[in-house]
Amino acid sequence: MTTDGIPQQPPPSQWEARWATIKGSPRVIILTAIILGIFVIFGQRVWYLQFVQGAYYSVQADRRRLRTEIIPTSRGIIYDRAGAPLVRNVPSFKITITPAYLPDDEAAADGVLIRLAVLLDMPYTTSGDQVGLREIMAEAWRVPYHPTEIERGVTREKALLVAQESMLLPGVSVEVDSMREYPYGPLISQLLGYLLPIPGEYEEEYREQGYDPATDRIGRAGVEATYEDALRGKKGESLVEEDVMGRVIRVVSQQAAPVPGNNVHLTLDLELQKFVEETLRQGMTRPNVNAPRGVAVVMNPQTGEILALVSLPTYDNNLFTQGISVRDWQVLSENVHRPMLNHAISDRLQPGSVFKVVIAAGALQEKVLDGQRTRLNGTGTIIVPNKYYPNDPGQAQKFHCWNRAGHGWLDVVGGIANSCNIFFYKAGGGFEESGFEGLGMDEESGIPHYAHLFGFGEPTGVELTGEIGGTVPTRNWKRLTYGESWSTGDTYNLSIGEGYLEVTPLQMLNAVNTIANGGTLYRPSIVHHVTDSDGNIVQHFEPEIIRTLPISPENWSLIQQGMEGAVAYGTAPNAQIEGVRVAGKTGTAQYCDDIARETGICRVGYAQPEHAWFAAFAPVENPEVSVIVFLYNGGEGSENAVPVAHDILDYYFHGDEGDETAP
């Protein structure tokens, strides 16, 4: 339509009118601006993430499928002095679970655990002594991305079963493992020890040292423990790619190669150890002997090297390889004679008359005994009046010799050879009736002083766990411990190796070694040297001198003569070895411990039970071997400990059927 020749626009439609109104609305303009702003911001963010941060997030994505895997190393081997392996690393398998890779669905995750429990023949929930898999996993969730060891020492058959079902068991892994095997078991378990998992209270401490508390085991006894740092080696690392189920697809690179542990070579002679163990066991069960506990140690007195060490009863350290059962642990822990304790270094014992050599050394050096010129009357009994009732014979205390008939007048050589109690009562504690002053209890020059010089009252320092120092009593010690004053009777008892004195068999033998070599106290050693995996010596042990005792050669000679006399004509004639000069000292120590009281063999008014001891060295002119034998409740040392030591020395010098076998 036109009006006056001018074209007319058609009127706007209803929708066009509304749109015109909307476009002119301030609210619409603001809303449009907001929407456009959001799109602009979103676009900028996408551009930033893709083009600016793209490389960073690409690396992060790679990291989520790449992880560092620890490469286990092999633990070092322990050998005897001739190179015979005493322990082996045997191939094995272990099952681990990484909690984070289990199905997210709780029911599905439980299904995986239940199936694994069936395959491993282990309970899903705790049952009796066995910890259930569910309880293990409850603890494992503390470190969800860390593999948790479920079972170690898995048989090949079980490992294959689990591996075959790997697609149905997300998060479960079968890993090749190395397991410790001890081929000689109880024979040397007290020396080697065993491995155990890291205790919970020490997890952080060991983690800082590079251990994985969830899977690693550490030495907990014997050389396995004392040489843990040398034996453990160093783990390696590799970068691996894994799938969404946590299974390794490929090894991308090796970042650090594992370093095998060092090997420890002992001073131990394996063949001698076998013979000593068999001989001691037979000696403990001889007719009229029923010793439930025994120790035999063989050493080189010129170096302190331990050639053999047997402690009975003992245990099989293979029990700990896969984790000791509750039943086996109960059997060991409930045995009153403590088979897991190394009795050679951990028992507190009275050594009896073997200790008389210490009294002789002190008395000679302090001029209490003037060489062989001093002779004391070895009557069968001496009587010490009660200081509070000196005129009342009924209050006096009697001290007897083992030979009630007495030995007569003796010098120090005869006193040692015949092990005369009366001689050493007087030499140690004096005898007021005759005006003779003994060595006494002065801590600077008396019995305690010389006991400490010989190494008593402190650990020897041998490279084994569980060693104690024992007790060297003093006047002040008794006052503090019992609230009582020291008496002459206490000194007399100490002078013959009884009373409050407590020593270990290894301490006693080490003291005898000092007599054998003429005054040098060595630190006993069970380790000869350490090598790396290529056989290179990285640590060699030379004899370590603790101290040189300030005793004259003349006095050492007198003590040696007395000990040789004990074998030649005194208390130990059964220790004689054809063609070899042997020196020795017997000991019979009365005791009354908790076991004796509980079993009724120690009662007031009755003769007390006795431990049997014997220590010896040979040949006298140039000692190369020493031995000590201890039989718990073994009776007379001369009757029951001497034969055991004789057989050991005879084997050392003459071997089986005359073969030369001395190490």
Q: Looking at residue 394, what is its pLDDT?
A: 67
pLDDT tens by residue, 614-626: 999 999 999 999 9
Tokens of 32: 């449009």
pLDDT tens by residue, 226-276: 999 999 999 888 887 776 656 677 777 777 888 999 999 999 999 999 999
pLDDT for 62 beyond 60: no
Q: Which amino acid is at 153?
A: G
Calculate mean pLDDT across residues 394-409. 82
Read off the pLDDT band of 188 (50, 70, 90). very high
- Which range, of 131-145, 299-313, 384-398, averages the lowest pLDDT? 384-398
pLDDT for 103 beyond 50: yes
In three-state secondary structure terms, 493 is: helix
Calculate mean pLDDT across residues 335-347. 96
- Which range, of 205-219, 366-380, 594-608, averages the lowest pLDDT? 594-608
Tell me the CA distances in angstroms from 117 to 176, 302, 373, 545, one per residue in order.
Answer: 19, 58, 82, 57
Q: Looking at residue 3, what is its pLDDT?
A: 53
Place of tokens 């109880």: 186
Decide if 629 contacts 644 (C-beta within 8 A).
yes
What are the residues whose beta carbons fall under 8 Å from the beta carbon of 272, sequence distance 6 or more? 298, 307, 308, 651, 652, 661, 663
d(CA 385, CA 395): 7
d(CA 359, CA 496): 8
Highest mean pLDDT among 1-15, 64-78, 203-217: 203-217
- Does residue 313 have a cis bond before it (omega within 30 degrees)? yes
d(CA 46, CA 424): 99
Looking at the chain, the whole-number percentage of residues with pLDDT higher than 70 is 88
pLDDT for 53 beyond 90: no
pLDDT tens by residue, 122-167: 888 877 667 778 788 877 777 777 788 888 888 888 888 888 888 8
Q: Looking at residue 422, what is its pLDDT?
A: 95
Residue among 571, 592, 585, 589 nearest 635 (CA): 589
Largest CA distance in the chain: 169
270-658 shares the fold of 68-262:
no
Q: For 26, what's the count of Cα atoms within 13 Å in the CB-facing half-sphere?
A: 0
Residue ranges per structural domain of the chain: 2-52, 68-262, 270-658
Q: Does domain 68-262 have CATH number 3.50.50.60?
A: no
CATH of 270-658 given 3.30.930.10, 3.40.710.10, 3.40.50.10490, 3.40.50.1220: 3.40.710.10
Decide if 649 contacts 616 (C-beta within 8 A).
yes
Q: What is the mean pLDDT of the chain?
A: 88
